[in-house]
Structure 1
Amino acid sequence: MFDHALRLHRETPDQPLRRGGSPCPDEEAHRRRQRPKAAGGGRSAGRGVALLLDAHFARGSASPGELAAVCHDVHIPIHPDEHITAAAERADGRRARETGRWLVRHGTDRCSVTLELALIAAVGTADDIRRVQTIGLLSDWFGPLAAHALARLAGGAEAVAWLAERVTGWGRVYAVHTLCRLDDPVTRPWLLRRACDGDFLNAYFVGDVVRTTGLHEAATASHVDDEIMDHAGRILLVMTGSSGMGATLSRYPHAEAVLAAHLRHLTRTEPSAGRYCTAASLAGNLGEDGDEGSIGPARRWRHHRDGYLSLLARDDWCGVAREALAAKDPGILWLVETAWGRRLAAFAGRPSPQSSDRSSPQ
């Protein structure tokens, strides 16, 4: 499992793993295997694992491989568990640590590696950071424990930020939540500039990000860089569709100030396909067809929406959007497939690309 993550990481060392690392080497076996259910629920979920660990460490001659062989007999939680932590701490620290390290390096399935992460989270040291980061890249399964394990180590906040930059989906949710909880000044600039990657799951942590970073103060400062404001646009966009998941624009106390700052910044910066898509999506989501649960009454945002529409109608912004369409930019292609996108000044009266393809001679 570790070798699988490491090989994929070397292909894209500064980006998430291709397809999130799927399929994992144990995919077929994991799908076929009948997994034990948790005994009880909630805070009782890890009791079976704790008993297994107690029995294993009570036998001085028991090898890590023997523990790996019986991992499938119990339910192993993928989130931190107090019973597993207590069992690891009851054992000899050095032996528990070496067992965890062996399992992460040689474990061939997600059950044994999950147990490894739980052991490292309890008794690991800074020497474990790189191996935890590597296996944590398979973040849909290992993300919660990897973020938890890294957070408790010296230099943990930076280690979690490294992981957060290289995971998406639920893995990013776990990592960003952890960074916001740690609230380390060293990683606050990353949260301010890069936490939201545009995935709809960003809604689960967007409220934590704006509170931790003091986004409104940064966005309304006299000097603010493009990266902060581009990220502010993504944050605002997430908030226009986050009802039922996280902080919404209608309940964000600094919404008007940050929207105004974002729009003001866009009016004096170079247009790009990404900025066009963000501004266009904001204009659409702030209108009557927006999600009322996220934005409340659309009339509240009319001034900001009109400002975005005016910006999008400028010749330079229209030109960039049309060039991006010709270059088949994915964001622009998606935009012009929507009824809203085709009403924008840059694309008014144009058929969608799919319609054009269907009408082209064969």
Structure 2
Amino acid sequence: MTGDARQTYFGHATALAATHGPGPWPHGGHPQPDRPRPLLSDTVLDGVLTHHARNTPDPATATQLAHLIQALLTGPPTPAALQHLHDAAATHRALSVADPLTTELAGLDLPTAGLRRLGRWLAEHGTHPSPVALGLVLLGLAGDHRDRDLLLLLGTLESLSLYAIVALARSQPDPEAAIFTLAQRVDGWGRIHAVERLRGTPDPRIKAWLLRDGFRNRIMDEYLAHLAATTGDLLQALRTAPVDDALLDGAAGILSALCIGGPAEEITDYADAAETIEQYLTLAGQRPPNLERIATVLRLARFLASDRATYPDRTRLRQRCDGLTGRPDWILAADRALDDPDLARFRLAIAPAQHLGIPTRPRVRARLHEHPDDPYLWQVLTDDIDDVIALARHLLPLDALGTGPTRGGRRGALPAHHVLDLIVGRLDAHPGKGWPLIRVALASPTTHNRTMAVRALGAWPAGTVPAEAFAAVEHASRIEPDATVRNKLRHLLGTWTGADPGPSR
């Protein structure tokens, strides 16, 4: 592209496809070309805006872009004019422009062939997500079957999935099949956007996929569980023999997500819930127990014991759950799951084992020696704060954690800093315990570590504060770069001396 030597999104997607296949790609295709991965990416922001907030249209920008497009299609499409359109689009969020721009262009009666060529040019040459998304919008208006592969390729970048899905729906002769193909190539917000457009499908192949895998995504299975249960007709599928293990375990995932509830429809919105639970329990009781089935039945039991369950036979259903999880083979399977060498599987096994009364602490402590940076393992042990403090002093690299305060918040943070945060954040409830850890947190490069240290000391009665803490806090207050934390330190010193110096600037 004239005047722009950065990598195009098309080139980025092509390279990912060559390396990883059709998708899903690692991290949804992030980081994007020439754009470091931010805390809240375009992909996440579009997902949040479309599901939890009202997107604010920008008709003024849409009009501006429509006029630039009209000028390009009624005059010579010079490189400079193309670059100007690209750069104008790059200064605005595509989500706020897409709908009003579609309306604007529909009223201009522009040549379809020209719109399609311009859409492909932006899609293939864009070096910023908004111009590429604009190209996908134009292909939705003027594209055809020839653009399917391009839309699928760029749509596998999850920052562009939403725009590709809309374009596929508007331009393809079999839009549902095209969207289904893309849904299988993405696993985050892109999958959520795609599967939501498969709601109500009569296609048995898509329905079967929804029940086994289609509801799963990197964001929250809860977004798609109800859609999968209803569109996929989960109850009828479980009643139709033979029920394969993939379907039974998919049902487990759907029922678990429905029990958790939110941010979409949940189990109380599912009309077939009681019958589906009954059928699931019947089938699960006929199969060898595994971790997913055990965890699901335990979650169903908790739901059935809650006020959310209003079924007339909920007591009987709960008794069926208790009967399964009390079987010796189920208890043995839960115990064996704690021996899984995979850390992720081990973590999933902890809560079910605890619910079944299986001792977990010795094995969690042993696994912690192998994975001392894992916050969840530490969290499981925090009911015994003395043990946690002793383990932390032995397992954490404390000398490397207290290297001095910085302004960067979590910049320079090590995984162990997150563990330190978790432990020190609980010491306010344990006066006099863990001072060596608090001392390290006071000198941590992460602001939150230092904040948790001040909070803990501030909650301790005067008689439980070690003598050396005053000098440490006084020193920390002199070198603290963050004004908020510095004021907290000065206030803490004032409460100890009876002379609060007030906020500093």
Q: What TM-score comes out, normalization by structure 2 length?
A: 0.60
1:3/1:10 CA distance change after superposition, 3 Å: same
1:217/1:41 CA distance change after superposition, 3 Å: same
Give 1:284 deviation, angstroms.
Answer: 4.2
Where in structure 2 are the equivalents of 1:142-157 lying within 5 Å? 142-152=160-170, 153-157=172-176
Give 1:178 deviation, angstroms.
Answer: 0.8
Q: Does 1:233 align with 2:255?
A: no
Distance 2:207 2:166 in 1: 18
1:272/1:15 CA distance change after superposition, 3 Å: farther
1:301/1:59 CA distance change after superposition, 3 Å: farther
Give 1:198 deviation, angstroms.
Answer: 5.8
Counterpart position of 1:98 = 117
Q: Does 1:112 align with 2:131?
A: yes
Give 1:119 deviation, angstroms.
Answer: 0.9
1:277/1:10 CA distance change after superposition, 3 Å: farther
1:273/1:166 CA distance change after superposition, 3 Å: farther
Where in structure 2 are the equivalents of 1:217-228 lying within 5 Å? 217-228=236-247
Report the AA paired with residue 278 of structure 1.
T
Q: Does 1:257 align with 2:270?
A: no
Counterpart position of 2:77 = 61
Counterpart position of 2:355 = 343
Distance 1:209 1:61 in 2: 46
More RCO (CA 8 Å, sep 6+): 1
Query: Which whole-Å deviations, capped at 9, do the CAs of 1:212-251 have from their partners, x for residues lacking one?
Result: 22222222234433322222221111111224x2222123
Larger displacement relative to structure 2 (198-207 or 265-274): 198-207
Counterpart position of 1:8 = 16
Query: Which whole-Å deviations, capped at 9, do the CAs of 1:94-115 have from their partners, x for residues lacking one?
Result: 1211221122222111011111
Q: Contact (CA 8 Å) 1:26, 1:110: kept in 2 or not?
A: no
1:304/1:329 CA distance change after superposition, 3 Å: farther
Q: Contact (CA 8 Å) 1:85, 1:119: kept in 2 or not?
A: no
Counterpart position of 1:163 = 182
Where in structure 2 are the equivalents of 1:270-289 lying within 5 Å? 270-288=288-306
1:41 is matched with which residue: 35, 48, 56?
Answer: 56
Distance 2:98 2:25 in 1: 24
1:247/1:74 CA distance change after superposition, 3 Å: closer
Distance 1:133 1:301 in 2: 46
1:251/1:5 CA distance change after superposition, 3 Å: same
Distance 1:329 1:306 in 2: 32
Where in structure 2 are the equivalents of 1:202-221 lying within 5 Å? 202-221=221-240
Counterpart position of 1:307 = 320
Distance 1:355 1:229 in 2: 33
1:231/1:71 CA distance change after superposition, 3 Å: same
Q: Contact (CA 8 Å) 1:271, 1:320: kept in 2 or not?
A: yes
Give 1:353 deviation, angstroms.
Answer: 4.3
Report the AA paired with residue 134 of structure 2.
L
Distance 2:67 2:174 in 1: 32
Q: Does 1:191 align with 2:191?
A: no
Counterpart position of 1:266 = 284
Where in structure 2 are the equivalents of 1:321-360 lying within 5 Å? 321-330=334-343, 332-338=345-351, 341-344=353-356, 348-351=358-361, 353-356=363-366, 357=368
1:119/1:285 CA distance change after superposition, 3 Å: same
Query: Which whole-Å deviations, capped at 9, do the CAs of 1:227-277 have from their partners, x for residues lacking one?
Result: 22222221111111224x222212311101111111111112233333334
Give 1:52 deviation, angstroms.
Answer: 3.3
Distance 1:280 1:240 in 2: 11
Distance 2:282 2:217 in 1: 22
Give 1:199 deviation, angstroms.
Answer: 4.9
* Ranges in structure 1 where 5+ consecutive residues have no aligned partner: 32-39
Structure 1 ranges of 4+ moved more than 6 A = 359-362
Counterpart position of 2:144 = 125
- SS of 1:187's partner is helix
Counterpart position of 1:34 = none
Identical counterparts, % of pairs = 25
Report the AA paired with residue 56 of structure 2.
G
Q: Contact (CA 8 Å) 2:120, 2:135: kept in 1 or not?
A: yes
Larger displacement relative to structure 2 (263-272 or 273-282): 273-282
Counterpart position of 1:36 = none
Q: Contact (CA 8 Å) 2:201, 2:231: kept in 1 or not?
A: no
Q: Contact (CA 8 Å) 1:219, 1:229: kept in 2 or not?
A: yes
1:182/1:107 CA distance change after superposition, 3 Å: farther
Q: Contact (CA 8 Å) 1:206, 1:235: kept in 2 or not?
A: yes
Distance 1:49 1:70 in 2: 7
* Ranges in structure 2 where 5+ consecutive residues have no aligned partner: 1-8, 40-54, 370-386, 396-505
Report the AA paired with residue 359 of structure 2.
G
Counterpart position of 1:20 = 28
Larger displacement relative to structure 2 (98-107 or 322-331): 322-331
Distance 2:362 2:177 in 1: 44
1:53/1:183 CA distance change after superposition, 3 Å: farther
Distance 1:18 1:233 in 2: 26
Q: Contact (CA 8 Å) 2:56, 2:96: kept in 1 or not?
A: no
- SS of 1:240's partner is helix
Distance 2:56 2:350 in 1: 45
Give 1:185 deviation, angstroms.
Answer: 4.9
Q: Contact (CA 8 Å) 1:6, 1:134: kept in 2 or not?
A: yes
Give 1:5 deviation, angstroms.
Answer: 2.4
Q: Contact (CA 8 Å) 1:46, 1:76: kept in 2 or not?
A: no
Report the AA paired with residue 273 of structure 1.
L
1:322/1:90 CA distance change after superposition, 3 Å: farther
Query: Which whole-Å deviations, capped at 9, do the CAs of 1:6-43 have from their partners, x for residues lacking one?
Result: 32334433652112222111324999xxxxxxxx9348
